[in-house]
Amino acid sequence: MKKLILAALAAAFALAPMSMDKETAQAEELTSCKSAYLCDYASGVCAYSVNETERLPIASMCKIMTLLLSFEAVDSGNLSYDEEISVSDSAAGMGGSQVFLGSGLSYRAEELMKTIAVCSANDSCVAMAERIAGSESLFVEKMNARAKELGAENTLFANCTGLPKEPQYSCAKDVALMLRALLSHKKYFEFSKVWLEDFAHPDGRTTTITNTNKLIRFYEGCDGGKTGFTNQAGFCLAATAKRGDTRLISVVIGAESSDKRFQSVKNLFNYAFAAFESRKIVEAAKPIDIKLAVRGGKQKEISVCADRDLALFCKRGEEVDATTEILLPDHVKAPLAAGADVGEAILYRDGVEAGRCRLLAAEPAEKFSYGDAFREIAGEW
């Protein structure tokens, strides 16, 4: 395996960064919530925070983890979206926000997951928890274990709904970690962007579900998130928005009113989209400036490309020192299909890893045959 270092100075743009005093003043005006956290989705780099690790109740935002475990159950083969899930008396009897599931009735897993994402249905949460883990208490154990795996150091779940129960808590930074993991599941966006929809029950009833996250309709680029409210937690919101190549995650906890939580998240998004940008250092599907040697092939070398973009999240106008480490074998053997995994690229920012991606063969490498050898010899006569 050979290592090549490609130095790339991320060029400064015409816009100069704001002065520290002005930037600080602007940031202080963004939110009056107890806790807030704003970060880049791709890299996890923080753009703004206040009391981000303070342990606080987060109400229904804990359903981000409930949804994450549901999607991961599908990924592992433990669950399918089309599976019919029978609703227990316990699930059907949940209070708070619900979709009024009928005890003993069966619903498709996909539909239950949608109601959790759209209208924060407590009954659907418990139904999914019982199906995946056997009971809500065992599911909560999975929630806490997964939180630790994600690095959520200030999180403890007591149930899968976020309804008041002690002890349970999280923090703005941990909620962002959980939402970031959830957003890696593309099907989630099929649910999170639903604004208004009729939910059909097997017994012929219909319940209209409405998205609790108003920003998906009233903020450009917002396509997902989770609200939360209890008297103890106050008004909470974790949301994501994408414009151009930049996707952001914003979390606020403990707003005084519903309007203030939405306004705070809008302020955070506006601030980051104006002051920051994502600069592509390695572009997906575009051949890099290095060729890979081929042994036993019709051609002596092939082009290599990244499987996804590698970008740096930074302030507009900021000069950033970026280097890319390319890890490739000395050669590959033919035949090799286009798209085959051949190596890895690692992006560093000021010497610290900022991202990595797989390197793929950008073209096929066909095997050199006896007929090719004969034609090559004949051509030299």
DSSP for 328-365, written as a single string:
E-S-EESPB-TT-EEEEEEEEETTEEEEEEEEEESS-B
Candidates 97, 29, 117, 61; CA nearest to 233 is: 61
Q: What per-residue string of b and e applies to 68-107 under the rule 16 or more CB within 10 Å gives b? A: bbbbbbbeeeebeeebebebbeebbebebbbbebeeeeeb
Tell whether 228 and 308 lie within a shared domain.
Answer: no
Identify the burial level of 264 via C-beta atoms within 10 angstroms of its C-beta, where 0-12 means exposed, 13-18 middle and 19 or more buried.
buried
Residue 91 lies in a domain: yes
**What CATH number has the domain bearing residue 7?**
2.60.410.10
Q: Which of 192, 222, 255 is the last residue of a domain?
A: 255
Identify the burial level of 373 via C-beta atoms within 10 angstroms of its C-beta, where 0-12 means exposed, 13-18 middle and 19 or more buried.
exposed
Q: Which of 240, 255, 270 is the last residue of a domain?
A: 255
pLDDT at 16 over 50: no
Tell whether 213 and 307 lie within a shared domain.
Answer: no
Residue 62 lies in a domain: yes
**pLDDT (average), residues 331-360:** 94
**pLDDT (average), residues 159-170:** 96
Residue-averaged pLDDT of the chain: 91
User: Among all residues, which ones are annotated catalytic?
Assistant: 60, 63, 120
State percent of the chain over pLDDT 70. Answer: 90
**pLDDT (average), residues 95-117:** 97
Q: 50: Cβ–Cβ under 8 A, 6 or more apart, which residues?
A: 31, 33, 35, 36
Residue 187 lies in a domain: yes
**What CATH number has the domain bearing residue 219?**
3.40.710.10
Residue 185 lies in a domain: yes
Tell whether 114 and 215 lie within a shared domain.
Answer: yes
Candidates 314, 291, 313; CA nearest to 301 is: 291
Using 50, 70 and 90 to split pLDDT, how confident is the model at 320?
confident
**pLDDT (average), residues 209-227:** 97
Please report how the helices 20-28 and 258-275 are oriented relative to each other, as an axis angle in degrees rounded to 10: 160
* pLDDT for the residue numbered 368: 75
**pLDDT (average), residues 98-125:** 98
Helix (H) or strand (E) holding 43: none
* pLDDT for the residue numbered 30: 87
Using 50, 70 and 90 to split pLDDT, how confident is the model at 18?
very low
Tell whether 8 and 113 lie within a shared domain.
Answer: no
pLDDT at 370 over 80: no
Pairing of strands 310-315, 320-328: unpaired
How far apart (Å, rounded) are the C-alpha atoms in residues 43 and 129? Answer: 30
Residue 89 lies in a domain: yes
Cα angle 60, 65, 67; round to 5: 90
Tell whether 37 and 156 lie within a shared domain.
Answer: yes
Give the tens place of pLDDT for each residue, 21-40: 444 445 557 888 999 999 99
pTM for the structure as a whole? 0.86
Tell whether 154 and 233 lie within a shared domain.
Answer: yes
Give the tens place of pLDDT for each residue, 36-61: 999 999 999 999 999 999 999 999 99
pLDDT at 85 over 90: yes
Tell whether 326 and 229 lie within a shared domain.
Answer: no
Tell whether 330 and 203 lie within a shared domain.
Answer: no
Q: Out of 221-235, 263-277, 325-339, 361-375, which region has the weakest mean confidence (pLDDT)?
A: 361-375
Tell whether 321 and 224 lie within a shared domain.
Answer: no
Q: Are 60 and 120 in contact, with CB atoms under 8 Å apart?
A: yes
Residue 356 lies in a domain: yes
Using 50, 70 and 90 to split pLDDT, how confident is the model at 232?
very high
Tell whether 48 and 157 lie within a shared domain.
Answer: yes
Tell whether 82 and 134 lie within a shared domain.
Answer: yes
Provide the number of structural domains found in the chain. Answer: 2
How far apart (Å, rounded) are the C-alpha atoms in residues 348 and 8? Answer: 10
**pLDDT (average), residues 2-12:** 55
Give the tens place of pLDDT for each residue, 184-210: 999 999 999 999 999 999 999 999 999
Kindly list the distances between the CA atom of residue 268 and the CA atoms of 32, 217, 261, 355, in Å, as whole numbers in the listed order: 12, 17, 11, 24
Q: Which of 221, 255, 289 is the last residue of a domain?
A: 255
DSSP string, 175-218: HHHHHHHHTT-TTHHHHHT--EEEEEPTTS-EEEEE-S-THHHH
Residue 260 lies in a domain: no
Tell whether 244 and 306 lie within a shared domain.
Answer: no
* pLDDT for the residue numbered 375: 54
Q: Are 13 and 316 in contact, with CB atoms under 8 Å apart?
A: yes
How far apart (Å, rounded) are the C-alpha atoms in residues 80 and 369? Answer: 46
How far apart (Å, rounded) are the C-alpha atoms in residues 185 and 312? Answer: 22
**pLDDT (average), residues 221-244:** 97
Q: Could you tell me the residue range of the domain that residue 45 belongs to?
A: 33-255
Q: What's the one-letter identity of residue 374?
A: F
Residue 265 lies in a domain: no
